[in-house]
């Protein structure tokens, strides 16, 4: 045993990969780690409200079984995520448990099978100890609902952790989980990762299997969130691969490397505004600082522009969402309008109107224009880097119902253009990794997107790993906010 093994809050801030190494050396046990996570939850969860359900009794029993695997009992050996606490997004179905998606209209609904994400976690030895909050139907860039209340950002509880995987990001930052499952149809992984200083990966369409009719929606996909790039790689390697329940899932499975060359000689494109986005000065400064770090490390960083317009982006998403995802929310509003959160009703009404203005064919034409513009701009570069959001954040509980995002009484952005993630759902064959880019004066982190060419996942992790080494990120400073 080491002279000073980690304990308490030191344990909950371990990376998953470091915890696995400590388990293997028998310096920390899965039971110790799970108890620390449970204790941490009791301390911070009343303020953060990241969890919709706690499965602590079952988790502690599974941790004892994991401990036996590390001890070699019964001839069993540890699996890739053996004993690691994993928080599952509530929309990721668990057999026999609720599947409400944050809606009173679906209260009492029970899952009839596990989502592929859940099966992959369990098969790898991960322990699902809690389930995380989302906005209703995972349709918003913040996390609150009539069913679950308001989820807050651990860095500054006045602010949202983003959405829709806001509970996932908040729990990672707060130390109440080591890994968290997420999904992304317009930025639902990357936005909360940016606002909570965590790492989130939007895998290319089909890389990770999903469940249900929306697997056919080429904007969406399930993926990993974590506190480090290495943890994200380890989790993604568990999630990837074909599943017969999702015929869009790609075979053969891509296994990401766990080590990468540095960025010396790599050609990297920098685009701050993605066409016509109005970017907050602090976001721009942190993005440029990350780009400079890569240049100082030997990468060839070149600033580029994109020919994207707000009109093309709006046309693409209006036709697409009103035809597919929006149609599901419209169905719910037609039968349970009185039970929906105000923002869900507003979304349904907006999608109903969009159907009369933009056809699916219109959206496909705009998508083609946007995809061609990106492909041309990225030609000759290994990756593109850009901000994840246009502003540092917005207040917890805010429905963003007006035309402007208002923070501390000041208008800071157009609501529709406050995030910069949806263009890469339109270009959803591109892998995108969010990593922290710094802190804002609002007391919450900011994020950087690393965008790869279609299905070139290793490239984004190469750059993400380089930035993590060049600009180390720590959660220790969070303790002042949570004490």
Nearest-angstrom CA–CA distance, 280 and 267 = 26
The structure tokens listed for 117 are 């994400």
Nearest-angstrom CA–CA distance, 50 and 53 = 9
Per-domain boundaries in the chain: 9-482
Which parts of the chain register pLDDT below 50? 1-2
| Alpha helices in 112-256, H assignment, sequence order | 116-123, 166-174, 190-196, 229-239
DSSP assignment string, 76-126: ----TTTT-EEEEETTS--TTSB--TT-GGGTT-B-SS--HHHHHHHHTT-
**Residue 476's pLDDT is what?**
63
Catalytic residues: 89, 164, 188
The structure tokens listed for 387 are 């901000």
**Residue 480's pLDDT is what?**
61
- Cβ–Cβ under 8 Å, residues 128 and 88: yes
The structure tokens listed for 26 are 């028998």
**Residue 38's pLDDT is what?**
98
Which architecture, in CATH terms, is 9-482? Alpha-Beta Complex (3.90)
**Residue 481's pLDDT is what?**
63
Q: With CA atoms as reference, report the closest residue to 129 among 66, 55, 182.
A: 55
**Residue 58's pLDDT is what?**
98
- Cβ–Cβ under 8 Å, residues 303 and 270: yes
- Cβ–Cβ under 8 Å, residues 434 and 190: yes
CB neighbour class for 474 (10 Å; exposed up to 12, middle 13-18, buried from 19): exposed
């Amino acid at each position: 045993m080491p002279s000073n093994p980690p304990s308490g809050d030191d344990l909950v801030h371990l990376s998953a990969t470091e915890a696995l190494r400590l388990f293997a050396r028998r310096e920390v046990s899965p039971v110790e780690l799970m108890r620390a996570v449970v204790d941490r939850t009791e301390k911070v969860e009343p303020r953060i409200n990241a969890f919709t359900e706690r499965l602590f009794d079952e988790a502690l029993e599974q941790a004892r079984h994991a401990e036996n695997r590390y001890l070699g009992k019964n001839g069993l050996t540890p699996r890739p995520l053996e004993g690691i606490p994993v928080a599952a997004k509530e929309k990721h179905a668990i057999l026999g448990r609720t599947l409400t998606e944050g809606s009173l209209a679906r209260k009492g609904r029970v899952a009839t099978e596990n989502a592929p994400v859940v099966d992959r976690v369990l098969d790898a030895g991960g322990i699902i100890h809690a389930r995380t909050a989302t906005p209703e139907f995972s349709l918003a860039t913040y996390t609150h609902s009539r069913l679950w209340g308001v989820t807050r950002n651990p860095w500054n509880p006045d602010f949202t952790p983003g959405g829709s995987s806001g509970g996932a990001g908040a729990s990672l930052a707060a130390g109440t989980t080591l890994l968290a499952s997420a999904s992304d149809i317009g930025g639902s992984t990357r936005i909360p990762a940016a606002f909570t200083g965590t790492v989130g990966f939007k895998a290319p369409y089909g890389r990770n299997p999903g469940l249900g009719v929306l697997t056919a929606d080429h904007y969406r996909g399930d993926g990993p969130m974590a506190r480090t790039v290495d943890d994200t790689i380890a989790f993604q390697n568990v999630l990837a691969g074909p599943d017969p329940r999702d015929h869009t899932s790609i075979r053969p499975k891509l296994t990401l490397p766990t080590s990468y060359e540095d960025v010396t000689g790599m050609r990297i494109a920098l685009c701050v505004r993605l066409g016509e986005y109005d970017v907050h000065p602090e976001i721009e400064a942190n993005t440029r600082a990350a780009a400079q770090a890569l240049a100082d490390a030997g990468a060839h960083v070149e600033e580029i522009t994109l020919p994207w317009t707000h009109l093309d982006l709006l046309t693409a998403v209006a036709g697409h969402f009103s035809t597919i995802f929006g149609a599901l929310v419209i169905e719910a509003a037609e039968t349970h309008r009185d039970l929906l959160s105000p923002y869900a009703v507003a979304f349904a009404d907006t999608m109903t109107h969009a159907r009369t203005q933009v056809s699916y064919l219109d959206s496909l034409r705009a998508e083609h224009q946007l995809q061609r513009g990106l492909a041309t701009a990225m030609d000759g570069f290994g990756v593109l880097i850009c901000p994840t959001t246009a502003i540092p954040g917005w207040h917890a509980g805010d429905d963003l119902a007006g035309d402007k995002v208002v923070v501390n009484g000041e208008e800071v952005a157009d609501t529709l253009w406050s995030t910069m993630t949806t263009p890469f759902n339109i270009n959803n064959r591109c892998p995108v990794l969010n990593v922290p880019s710094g802190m804002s004066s609002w007391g919450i982190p900011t994020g950087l997107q690393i965008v790869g060419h279609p299905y070139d996942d290793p490239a984004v992790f190469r750059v993400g790993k380089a930035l993590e080494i060049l600009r180390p990120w720590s959660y220790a400073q969070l303790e002042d906010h949570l004490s």
